[in-house]
Amino acid sequence: MLAASAYLGGRTNSMWAYRPSANVWAQPEPARPAPSARQQHVAVWNDHDGTMLLFGGYRSGTEFLDDLWSYRPQTRSWVRLDPSGARPSPRSGSSAAWDSSSNRLLVFGGYGVNGYRADLWSYSPDANAWTEVGRNSERPAPREEAIAVWDTANAQLLVYGGDREGRSVDDLWAYRPVSDAWVELDPAAPWPAARFRHAAVWDPTGEQMLVFAGYGGGFPGGYLNDVWSYRPSTNAWTRVETIGPLPAPRSRHIAVWDAAAQRLLVWGGFAGGVDYLADLWSFLPLEDRWQPVAPPAAPPARAAAAAAWDPDRRQLLIQGGGGSALSDELWSYHEE
């Protein structure tokens, strides 16, 4: 795990948004309190009540977080949630997805003061409570900085890759709520290179998980910029041969799915050394095409932020992350 003190400076205190059709970034000013500056946290869009949920992360030293927040774009307001009962331990580098079939947040793994984690937690906004699930079957080995997506076609959570005890891995798992059990998947070759700090989305039209970039090890040559598709219907990986200019290799970037435009949006990340990124890219799976998006006044370059796509306002929400400073900013990119 890379300590924040190795590459982070001061802190900032602001909030922003990017709006695609107008091709501009905006910085709304939500009322306080709001989440503190952090990185390596997770966020999902709660399509049940139109809010972004944000959990955990890493601040400095051994300061891992376990706080849970809700952001409502309609009112530009944050609410710190106080779930009853047991809850996940403080951690960073978890992977998360929104289970739209049960209206809940799923959070897997991560890293904290007790090392790498392999637990899976469910948060129900309706009950305002956490529940640990998937405990009674074989499960993925402890890890951080894997990816997780919710497969709407098969009502399952897909988890791929990650960092396990300092080593990148390439295993693929599914958590199936109907049986409350994990299953290790075994697709035939070809197979993506082992990696962590990558990003992924679920493309419901193509019924596929799209995985982009990440870090495979072997610094400095281990940064990747490949695109892979995993289709549960065939239990097969396919390397996508893309068209157009390629985004630079990177890790700890963010990715969201814009369903209305049928596209993957990728922003920011880390490319090694002191090279933090602030570029925005669009990938169209129906054409296998990358397109750079160049709105003015982008957020400061950073990595390890958390993000969600707000489909109601067609905006990308990005919170926190680290670069020249550890940030608590919330940015939004919006198209009208």
Question: Does residue 248 have a pLDDT over 90?
Answer: yes
Angle at 249 between CA 63 and CA 280, to 5 degrees: 80
Peptide bond between residue 187 and the one before it cis (omega within 30 degrees of 0)? no
Class of domain 4-334: mainly beta
Q: What is the pLDDT of residue 277?
A: 96
Dist. CA 244–CA 249, nearest whole Å? 15
Rounded average pLDDT over 235-250: 97
Question: If DSSP codes are grouped into helix, strand and coil, which group holds residue 309?
Answer: strand
Question: Does residue 309 have a pLDDT over 90?
Answer: yes
DSSP code per residue over 142-197: SBBS-EEEEETTTTEEEEE--EETTEE---EEEEETTTTEEEEE-PBSP-PPP-BS
% pLDDT > 70, the chain: 92
Rounded average pLDDT over 206-210: 98
Q: What is the pLDDT of residue 296?
A: 75
**Residue 186 burial class via C-beta count within 10 angstroms: exposed 0-12, middle 13-18, buried 19 and up:** exposed
Q: What is the pLDDT of residue 83?
A: 97
Question: Does residue 321 have a pLDDT over 70?
Answer: yes
DSSP code per residue over 51-81: EEEEEEEE-STT-EEEEEEEEETTTTEEEEE
What pLDDT, in 10s, does the model give residues 76-115? 999 999 999 999 999 999 999 999 999 999 999 999 999 9
CA 209 to chain centre: 13
Which range has the worst mean pLDDT, 22-31, 87-96, 157-166?
Answer: 22-31
**DSSP label of 300:** P
Rounded average pLDDT over 3-27: 52
**Under 8 Å between Cβ of 148 and 96:** yes
pLDDT band at 1, cuts 50/70/90?
very low
Q: Which helix (H) or strand (E) holds 282?
A: strand 276-284
Which range has the worst mean pLDDT, 143-157, 265-279, 288-302?
Answer: 288-302
Dist. CA 179–CA 218, nearest whole Å? 39
Which range has the worst mean pLDDT, 29-33, 110-114, 157-161, 179-183?
Answer: 29-33
Question: Does residue 315 have a pLDDT over 50?
Answer: yes
pLDDT band at 219, cuts 50/70/90?
low
Q: What is the pLDDT of residue 27?
A: 80
Q: What is the pLDDT of residue 166?
A: 85
Question: Does residue 273 have a pLDDT over 90?
Answer: no
Q: Which two tokens stand for residue 17?
A: 């948004």
**DSSP label of 4:** G
Contacts for 198 with CB less than 8 Å, ≥ 6 apart: 147, 160, 161, 211, 212, 213, 214, 215, 224, 251
**Under 8 Å between Cβ of 213 and 253:** yes
Q: What is the mean pLDDT of the chain?
A: 91
What phi, psi does 7 have (nearest 5°)? -150, 10
So where are the chain's domains?
4-334
pLDDT band at 19, cuts 50/70/90?
low
Dist. CA 223–CA 251, nearest whole Å? 7
Peptide bond between residue 190 and the one before it cis (omega within 30 degrees of 0)? yes
Question: Does residue 254 have a pLDDT over 90?
Answer: yes
**Under 8 Å between Cβ of 317 and 331:** yes
pLDDT band at 221, cuts 50/70/90?
low
pLDDT band at 116, cuts 50/70/90?
very high
Q: Which residues of 130-142 are buried (b: 16+ CB within 10 A; e: fewer)?
A: beebbeeeebbeb
Q: What is the pLDDT of residue 291?
A: 96
Question: Does residue 308 have a pLDDT over 50?
Answer: yes
Instruction: Of 186, 195, 206, 112, give the one whose Cα is nearest residue 147.
Output: 195
**Under 8 Å between Cβ of 174 and 120:** no
CA 262 to chain centre: 18
Question: Does residue 22 have a pLDDT over 90?
Answer: no
pLDDT band at 5, cuts 50/70/90?
very low
Instruction: Of 216, 218, 285, 283, give the one whose Cα is nearest residue 250.
Output: 216
Query: Is the entire prediction scored with pTM above 0.75?
Result: yes
Q: What is the pLDDT of residue 119?
A: 98
Question: Does residue 139 have a pLDDT over 50?
Answer: yes
